[in-house]
Every structure is written in C-alpha cells, then in structure tokens.
Amino acid sequence: MKDYKNKTAFVTGAASGIGYALCEALLNKGANVMMADVDAQGLEKALAKLGGTSNHLASTLCDVRDGAAVMDAATLTQKTFGKVHIVMNNAGVGLAGRSGEIDLTDWRWIVDINLMGVVHGVEAFTPLIKLHDEGGYIVNTASMAGHMTTEYMPPYHATKYAVVGYSESIAPELSKYNIGVSCLCPTWVKSNIANSGNSKPSTNNIDSDTFSALKHTAELVKNGMDASRLADLTLAMMAQGRMHIFNDSEARPLIDERAKMLGADYDAALAWLADNK
C-alpha cells in the first residue's frame, strides 16, 4: 500500500494512543478515515482534535467484542465513503495475573477484545475490500508480546501470539486478492495500554509480584516511542509489504533467543527419536 488518496481506512481503538496516531497519519496521506472506539467521550475528543467530521473523516462507536457491531460499522463505513480499502484492527487491552488466580471472566474479556476483535474486523471487512477489486490492506495490532514472554502476563501473551499466528495464516490467502496483511508488533509505545486492565470484568485484586510487574510496564510505556512515530513506521512497512512490523532494536535478541530455543528443542526431540527407533 503506497497510494492513500481516494482510499478509505477503518481504525479501531482510534480514540487514543496508536489508533489515534494511525488515523492522523492516514489523513495526512490523503485517506478517508472512519475512527472507531468503544469510548464515546474519548472518540468525540479525538475526532475534534483531527478537525471534526468532514468528507474525509467520520467516527462510530464500536465494541469490537461484538461481531454484529463490527459488521454494522463496516456497513456504515462503506455507506459513508463508498468503498473500504484499509482495515486496522488496533483495539486492545492488557491483563496481568498469576496463573491459577486469574478469573475466567477476565480471560474471556481479553480474548474477546484482543483476538476476536481482530477476527471480527477481518471477517466483516474482507468481503467489502474484495467487492471493488482494487486491492487493500489489513493491519492487525499484536505486540512484541506475540513473539516473547514475561512472567505474570499469560492472558496478554496468549492473545498476542494468537494474533501473530492468525495474521501469518491469512496473509498468503488474501494476497491472491491483492490484499496485504501486516502484523504490528511493537514494544513500548506511549499509550493507555498500561491502564486498560482496570476495565476487566472481575474485581479480583492482583498480588504484589504482578503489581510490581505492572508498575514496571507502566514506566516503560510512559517512556516509550511516540505513537506518531510508530504510525509513520507502520505506513512505511506497509509500502514494503512487510509481514511483521517491529520498532525496538533492543528487543531483536529476544527473537534470536527464541529461535535458538526452538532449534535446540527440535534437535533434542529428533535425537531421541533417532536413538529410540
């Protein structure tokens, strides 16, 4: 994706952080943008900050957990701008906790947003992109947490690994229709993600170890990359058709370490099989 003029983009989690920055970057490239978020007040402020409703900008309330709501948002986007070319499934939340102490309602909450929200976006918008036969692009926001792990965040890692695998799976299929797919995998970016766990359904308190981990994460996010720079990087990597979009040189060794671990485990298993025929 290189030319954004007369192209329409739908962006979830658009009221703040990465989502807002993506909307701004797309508008600056000449695209039409439909901003979507579950936060009505935040969305209204974000829309106003970008100039308000116009021929190139609109907004809609949308809870990505609800497949029907995402489908309605897709219909509205097409009705508003005529065609849809770009979908950025960006809405996401964080959730931490100690295994064995995480409420299952919280598990379902994060899965419904971080994974099913992406699925709902792909399922709702892919037919609309195919319809005009002009090609398009899908960006699914995962995280570096979809390629490596830390303690006390199993729900977050599980959903982000799922988004990475899902994106890799649909990419070759959709390429046949000239629809590109990228998976956004940043580390620390200035956003509200560190506070999003406060919206979890349960009222369970977290233990001291988890609290310390969250406090450390919040500090890293506070000092992370500006969301606007990540948005510019995202569009640049879309132009190159990159599958994964990374932003942190310090995280590169984690990819290499994981590759070594997989290779060692693979070799160990094959060696056992060879010795125990």
Q: 266 an active-site residue?
A: no
CA dist., res. 84 & res. 32, Å (int): 9
Q: Among 69, 40, 55, 2, which residue's Cα sits nearest to residue 235?
A: 2
Alpha carbon separation from 258 to 78, 148, 265 (Å, rounded): 42, 7, 11
Residue with tokens 């970057």: 25
Alpha carbon separation from 73 to 63, 67, 88, 128, 209 (Å, rounded): 10, 10, 13, 12, 40
CA dist., res. 261 & res. 274, Å (int): 20
Residue of 156, 161, 166, 266 with catalytic role: 156
223 touches 188 (CB < 8 A): yes
- Active site (catalytic) residues: 156
